Structure 1
Amino acid sequence: MIDQTIYSIFKGGSKTYFYSTIFFPKRVKEDVFVLYSFLRKADDYVDSVPQDAEGFFDFKERYYQAIDGTITGDIVVDSFVKLVERKKFETRWVDAFLNSMEMDITKSKYETMKELLVYLYGSSEVVGLLMAKIMDLSEESYENARYLGRSMQYINFIRDIYEDIGLGRTYFPQKDLKSFNIESLDEEYTKKRPEEFKGFIRRQLETYFSWQEKAEEGFSYIPFRYLIPVKTASDLYKWTGSQINKNPFVVYERKVKPSIPNILSKVVINSITAGLG
């Protein structure tokens, strides 16, 4: 049985993840709900307006108390720590995640891709690793799992440009911006340089799709009963990328997301094609 608080946090977050996850077998689905609620709650502290740094550090402290054996009374933290222990997560992965969330408090831009990859490891690659552990995948899948987490995060960066600018953040290497003679991703600025902006966004999409391709090479490691929701989420993020590629300025107009009917229809299609395979 999934706790109502955990259920609400997940459902109130990503529709793509939520409606893909409900097609996992019951036990895996419950574990993913616990994982996502922990990740989402940490992220919400640093993404709130105004930013709740104190709330984040209190949350982080509760996690480490729980790891040391204290029952904190925070259902999200306590449930997650039980999951950590049962699935034997590497706690250094969770450390890396919390460190990246803390970077959102102290850091607003990244000069190079190498620098950004440090953030991406903790904020997304370890999520792929944690999911691999939940599904009991072999360690041979771990590199692909990292790429899947990284690619999904990167398309979110592209999709959420307008939102992140409002938070004072730019999640792209400054070297890439400079290579297109762009000094800012503010809408008013980029609309005066439309071709440069379109070129920049399409370059970032190339990066996303290349990482996504490497991620999908690992789908062969995923058992059929788990593959459908994973592939569905992956396909829907590719759909998001294709929509932005058609019109890069759409990122200022709306948050590009598939509708619930589109998500469910993709599940059906993947179920049929996977069964045929």
Structure 2
Amino acid sequence: MNGRSVVRPGTAAPPRADPPADATALRDAYRHCRRVAAAHGRSYYLATRLLSADRRPAVHALYGFARTVDDIVDDPHAADDPQRAVTALDAVEHRLRDAWSRPVAPHTDRALPTAFDRVVPALTDTVARFAIDPRHFWTFLDSMRMDIPGSPLFRDRYPTMAALHEYMRGSAAAIGLQLLPVLGTVGPAAEAEPAAAALGDAFQLTNFLRDIGEDLDRGRIYLPAAELAAFGVDEALLLDCRRTGRTDRRLRRALTHLIAVNRDLYRCARPGIELLSPRVRPGIRTATALYAAILDRIEDSGYAVFAQRAVVPQRRRLRLAAHAALGR
């Protein structure tokens, strides 16, 4: 297989892209996305270095899109004017639907962030070349709307794991499904989709466990209230831990449980790696190993998630990457 999706009867046809972008503009767009990935996704970027040269730029384009949208949602001005971020996301969706030839109502792109225009050529080229289903992008954008106060979809608390999974369906699983056609499979892509979605969820939950304090500072809790309550943890306790920088024993027990849940997601995802094209397996094994190692760092620190950010040291990242490349 060449790693590109084959459109079969009953599946979504690839969107028709805008007329071919100027070669220089397209090359610049891919370079911009690569710089974004290198600057903001160190573990992710290291993993992509193990992918074949023809796939690597496409993965950077998908990362560049997700990161640019994330920056819209986390714009410090959004707290004062949340409608600004909602309008910007609407403009992003309109721009993509227009570029991918889905009929849309007349709209102005005045709210479109300048940075996003630098991503569009590479993203559009990637989506067209690899026949990525556009629905995964709309699902992702809806999940991002859930993070914006003022949006009808806004949520900053999640009562159950099921509710959190609904958020992660767009924020994480959809990204795994965007990547799948780029990575390629040895059989029908549909057989690899559950594992791809599980891996996206696993990465996202790891982020939530690592970033509890930062999320609290933004008024958000991405850990399910019911799971925390089972160990005697409520919002007041979380805020007190953030204030003191110390992790209460009740929260340590809750984190032990949630890390076990997270590792189970990784276990569900790992068999799917063997369904991918052989050339991309080392890169995905590396990404999986690097992210799972963050959980080890949280445990090794005594669950000191409020005192320090769990970071996998460079030497260990390189060692994990080497082991993954050898299929260990």
| Map 1:114-129 → 2, pairs under 5 A | 114-129=162-177
Report how far residue 188 of structure 1 moved. 4.3
1:166 aligns with 2:217: yes
- Pairing 1:198–2:252 present: yes
Structure whose alpha-carbon radius of gyration is higher: 2
Offset of 1:135 from its aligned partner? 1.4
Cross-structure match for 1:183? 234
Aligned mates of 2:307, 2:42 — CA distance in 1: 19
The answer to whether 1:131 aligns with 2:185 is no
Map 1:30-69 → 2, pairs under 5 A: 30-51=57-78, 53=85, 54-68=87-101
Contact 1:190 1:197 in 2 (8 A): no
Deviations 1:130-173 (A, max 9, x none): 11111122321111111111101001100011111111111111
Kept after mapping to 2: 8 A contact 1:135/1:226 = yes
Relative to structure 1, the CA distance from residue 179 to residue 189 in structure 2 (aligned partners, 3 Å threshold; closer, same or farther) is farther
What TM-score do you get using the length of structure 1 for normalisation? 0.90
CA distance in 1, matches of 2:248, 2:44: 32
Equivalent residue letter for 2:157: K
CA contact (8 A) 2:196 2:269 kept: yes
For 2:156, the equivalent position in structure 1 comes to 108
SS of the residue aligned with 1:257? coil
Aligned to 1:157: 208
1:191: how far off? Answer: 6.6
2:93 counterpart letter in structure 1: K
Match in the other structure for 1:96:
139
Partner of 1:26: helix, strand, or coil?
coil
| Aligned partner (choices 235, 259, 274) of residue 313 of structure 2 | 259
Runs of 4+ in structure 1 over 6 Å off: 69-73, 189-193
Question: Which residue of the partner structure matches residue 120 of structure 2?
Answer: 77
Shift of 1:218: 1.2
Q: Matches of 2:256 and 2:217 in 1, distance apart?
A: 22
Letter in 1 for 2:68: K
Report the secondary structure of 1:251's partner residue: coil
Q: Is the 8 A contact 2:282 2:324 kept in 1?
A: yes
Q: What does the per-residue CA deviation read over 1:202-230, in whole Å, with 9 as the maximum and x for residues that have no partner?
A: 11101100111000021211233211111
Deviates more, 1:129-138 or 1:10-19: 129-138
Unaligned runs of 5+ in 1: none
Question: Identity of counterpart residues, as a percentage?
Answer: 24
**8 A Cα contact 1:144 1:217, kept in partner:** yes
Kept in 2: contact 1:15–1:260 (CA 8 A): no
Checking the alignment, whether the CA contact within 8 Å between 2:247 and 2:303 is kept in structure 1 is: no
Q: CA deviation at 1:107?
A: 1.4
Name the counterpart of 1:234: 288
- Paired with 1:242 and 1:267, the residues of 2 have a C-alpha distance of 16
How far apart, in 2, do the equivalents of 1:208 and 1:49 lie?
30
Superposed displacement of residue 248, structure 1: 4.7
Aligned residues: 274
Partner Cα separation in structure 2 for residue 177 and residue 39 of structure 1: 29
Q: CA deviation at 1:268?
A: 1.8
Tell whether the 8 Å contact from 2:183 to 2:280 is kept in structure 1 after alignment. yes
Let me know the Cα RMSD of the aligned residues.
2.4
Match of 1:213 in 2: 267
Could you list the per-position Cα deviations for residues 48-100 of structure 1 after superposition, in whole angstroms to 9, with x for gaps in the alignment? 32336144333333222222379998131232122222211111111110100
Distance 1:67 1:223, change over 3 A: closer
Mapped contact 1:20–1:263 kept (Cα < 8 A): no
**Aligned residue type for 1:12:** A
Per-residue CA shift, 1:17-65, capped at 9, x if unaligned? 0111112100110110111100111111112323361443333332222
Of 243-252 and 162-171, more deviation after overlay is shown by 243-252
Distance 2:175 2:161 in 1: 19
1:12 partnered with 2:12: no
Q: Which has the higher helix share?
A: 1
**Any stretches of 5+ residues in structure 2 without a counterpart?**
1-26, 79-83, 104-108, 149-153
